[in-house]
Amino acid sequence: MKTKASYLLRPEEIMDGLKTKIVGSEIIYHEKITSTMDAARELIQTDFKNGTTIFAEEQTNGRGRSNHIWFCPKYKGLLLTILLKYTMKPDNLCLLIGTIAVAITEMVRESFLLQAEIKWPNDLLIGGKKWGGVLVTMEKNHKKQPIFLIGIGININTTETELPKKTSILPTSIAIEKKEYVNRISFARTLLQYIDKWYLILRDEHFKYITEKWKEYCVTVGKDLIITDNGKEYSGKVIGISYNGGLMLKLQNGGTKIFRGEHATIKS
């Protein structure tokens, strides 16, 4: 019989065999917290290690993009925030979101042989159902230096009955798609390694390589959409992803417009 302890994400077990250069340099664990992003905002005012990662088993106020609530049953998923000291132009924020989404998608494709995909800019899908998401914000520490907080929520062992019913995208989990229980500690360790790999690619400014891989995984490319940007609607066909992660829309009037993920919302 499994005890409560056997379900816990133990930092020492995640770090055992962890092969990264930056991400996961230190791991902080909370069983219950308002959100890992809240904890990260407090931590950036201290002398934290670059790549520090905060995990939580339960969030009482977890939020995703556009302040949407992110629900994940205790001991069933991964809820984490990674803190990165990184100098980047504000216009490239969407590219960082895409880099993380690509890293997670590639990991699930290669490690679990599942056809994971990305709905621009930050939704992680399998068969059109959402199993995870990415949220990136830029904050300033006490020295006014930029710190990027990468929030990630993933449904791992969530069952059909535990998934929320009223969602804009049908939800799923890795275990449901794989039809087997998934070891969360092993998943977390592998996840940090893939994110570290892709973060180093971003840091070395291989932007074209990232956007090409993002386009390959992105289900949004090629679709006819209506996008809302600063209260205005635009209709057209998605033709690609720009060098800094923006969505390229061929407008009905023949022009092309690029939308940044932190401002634009896909309406349909």
Domain 4-217 belongs to what architecture?
2-Layer Sandwich (3.30)
CA–CA dist 13, 156 (Å, integer): 18
> Which tokens go with 56?
């939580």
Average pLDDT over residues 91-96: 88
Average pLDDT over residues 1-9: 59
At 67-79, the pLDDT tens digits run 566 778 999 999 9
Bigger pLDDT: 268 or 96? 96
CATH match for 224-266 among 2.30.30.100, 3.30.2010.10, 3.10.20.740, 3.60.20.10:
2.30.30.100
- State percent of the chain over pLDDT 90: 77
Q: Could you tell me the pLDDT band of residue 1, with boundaries at 50, 70 and 90?
A: very low
Q: Which amino acid is at 25?
A: S
Task: Find tokens 């635009």 and name the residue.
Answer: 234
Q: How far apart are CA 142 and CA 248, in angstroms?
A: 37
Please give the Cα distance from 207 to 184 (Å, whole number).
Answer: 31
Omega of the bond leading into 121 within 30 degrees of 0 (cis): yes
Query: What is the DSSP track for 150-201?
Result: EEEEEESS--GGGS-SS-SS-B--HHHHHTS---HHHHHHHHHHHHHHHHHH
- At 204-245, the pLDDT tens digits run 999 999 999 999 999 999 999 999 888 899 999 999 999 999
Residue 66: pLDDT over 70: no
Q: Where are the domains of the chain?
A: 4-217, 224-266
pLDDT (tens digit per residue) in 165-187: 878 899 999 999 999 999 999 99
Across 152-188, b (16+ Cβ under 10 Å) vs e yields bbbbbbbeeeebeeeeeeebbbbbbbeeeebebeebb
Q: What is the C-alpha separation between 25 and 20, in angstroms, rounded?
A: 8
